Structure 1
Amino acid sequence: MEQVGLAATSEVTLWSLFMQAGFVVKLVMLGLVGASIWTWAIVADKWVSYRKFRGQLDQFEQIFWSGQSLEELYRTLSDRKTSGMSAIFVAAMREWKKSFERGAKSPIGLQMRIDKAMDVTLAREAEHLESKLGSLASIGSAAPFIGLFGTVVGIMTSFQAIAGSKSTNLAVVAPGIAEALLATAIGLLAAIPAVIAYNKFSSDAGKLSGRMEGFADEFSGILSRQIDERMSARQAAE
């Protein structure tokens, strides 16, 4: 008897538990496995994109503060696909040039238009950084409850097996309980990395957005001084 029991125990694997589970529990497990795969796909995508984005910010800051003229830098970047600080810089310079070409007379209005252009671009870049993070938050918050739902269904199946067999033998209820606990485990397996990744990437997105906001404020000050100088020169010429 002892050898039979050991043999039966050795045959209990995760795959066998999945195959023995009911339709609802199987559906729950497959959904959670899919959520886990989606979580790791987002983690890989964000890790690569944030690393690339951070490198682009470092490169632009190095070029911007190297002493190169704003006009020359704008000509270099205006025809390229830009992101981050480069996109903010191009948006501000484009508004700057359009306004002066049209003979802007109000320095306050010009400054407001430039700041608005940078704010819109900054919001767009921040939205891009935070894309897909909502999926991580949803998986992290919902996966444990979905796994718990599978657990409840599995336990209900176990009680039905007890009622059908009219026996409280552990061998009767153990498979259903094991299936139920497997659903909970898969739910936690999907939720824990999602929560950790969400907190990590939310923090990184906040830091990157903060760097862009700091640049926008500094560049706004630089353009404000140049606006004053140009307006003063224009008034003197008149």
Structure 2
Amino acid sequence: MGGSVTATNLPSAAQVAHDLSLWGLFLQADWVVKAVMIGLLLASIWVWAVVFEKATSIRRANRSADAFEEKFWSGGSLEELQRAEGERPSHPLAAVFGAGMREWQASTTASVGSAMALMGVKERADRAMGVTIGREMERMERWMVFLASVGSVGPFIGLFGTVWGIMNSFAAIASMNNTNLAVVAPGIAEALFATAIGLVAAIPAVLAYNKLNTDLARYAARLEAFASEFGTILSRQADEAPAGA
């Protein structure tokens, strides 16, 4: 009799067995937990896409800026450089240079007397270059808010999936009247898996945001330094123009 009871208990123990692999935990999870996991996985993929795009664009912008500054400080004609780089800029530094040169050319070709036309050229050129810097940096900083959002919100979304999964585990305990670890463990594992995915999405987003934000701030400072130096050159030429007129 006792042997038959043991035999009848063996199938129920087998039924309790769960697939505790990552794929098995996903398939056995509640639909809410599944939705959280899928959303976090998609966010993680998009985070890496943004990171690679931003890192590539910043590296390319710095390389282009190095080549442009070498031409700029080589002593060649600014008008020729404007025709080659400034009229159709392919990178932010050339766009800043083009904005300053356009303002300078508009001032030097004004129909008013030289002294009156060139009096405020530095202020106008600085303003034009400042607007261009803001526009170019806004374009380069696109999707940075997404990285910050995933980094701050991702763990909480994963925690929501965890809380939901643990609630289901307690509901299973109540319905089965069984506190055996084999009954509780799968549901808790599924719930904690959601938190793990949230951290997988959030940690790279935070690290990448800090690194990229520093690189972008350094590049913005480079643009502003160039605009200041170029504005000084234009101001010096404006001061010299009336005397030669």
What is the TM-score normalised by the length of structure 1? 0.92
Do structure 1's residue 170 and structure 2's residue 181 form an aligned pair? yes
Task: State the alpha-carbon separation in 1 of the partners of residues 71 and 136 from structure 2.
Answer: 20
Displacement of 1:9? 7.2
In structure 1, the partner of 2:67 is 59
Task: State the alpha-carbon separation in 1 of the partners of residues 135 and 108 from structure 2.
Answer: 25
Alignment of 1:1-238 (within 5 A): 11-104=19-112, 105-234=116-245
Q: Counterpart of 1:213 in structure 2: which amino acid?
A: E
Gaps of 5+ in 1: none
Task: State the alpha-carbon separation in 2 of the partners of residues 115 and 11 from structure 1.
Answer: 65
Q: Counterpart of 2:73 in structure 1: which amino acid?
A: W
Check conservation: 2:87, 2:98, Cα contact below 8 A.
no
Gaps of 5+ in 2: 1-8
Task: State the alpha-carbon separation in 2 of the partners of residues 230 and 42 from structure 1.
Answer: 48
Larger Rg: 2
| Secondary structure in 1 matching 2:88 | coil
Displacement of 1:219? 0.4
Task: State the alpha-carbon separation in 2 of the partners of residues 217 and 71 from structure 1.
Answer: 19
Q: What does the per-residue CA deviation read over 1:37-69, in whole Å, with 9 as the maximum and x for residues that have no partner?
A: 000100111111111111001000111011111
CA-based RMSD of the aligned residues comes to 2.1
Task: State the alpha-carbon separation in 2 of the partners of residues 114 and 103 from structure 1.
Answer: 18
Displacement of 1:163? 0.5
Q: Counterpart of 1:24 in structure 2: which amino acid?
A: V
Q: Counterpart of 2:47 in structure 1: which amino acid?
A: T
Displacement of 1:75? 1.9
Task: State the alpha-carbon separation in 1 of the partners of residues 221 and 153 from structure 2.
Answer: 30
| Secondary structure in 1 matching 2:120 | helix
Q: Counterpart of 1:119 in structure 2: which amino acid?
A: G
| Secondary structure in 2 matching 1:131 | coil
| Secondary structure in 2 matching 1:61 | helix
> Quick check: 87-96 or 73-82, which moved more?
73-82
Displacement of 1:80? 2.4
Task: State the alpha-carbon separation in 2 of the partners of residues 190 and 153 from structure 1.
Answer: 19
What is the TM-score normalised by the length of structure 2? 0.89
Q: Counterpart of 2:64 in structure 1: which amino acid?
A: Q
| Percent identity for Structure 1 against Structure 2 | 53
Task: State the alpha-carbon separation in 2 of the partners of residues 203 and 78 from structure 1.
Answer: 27
**Paired positions, count:** 232
In structure 1, the partner of 2:5 is none
Q: Counterpart of 1:126 in structure 2: which amino acid?
A: M
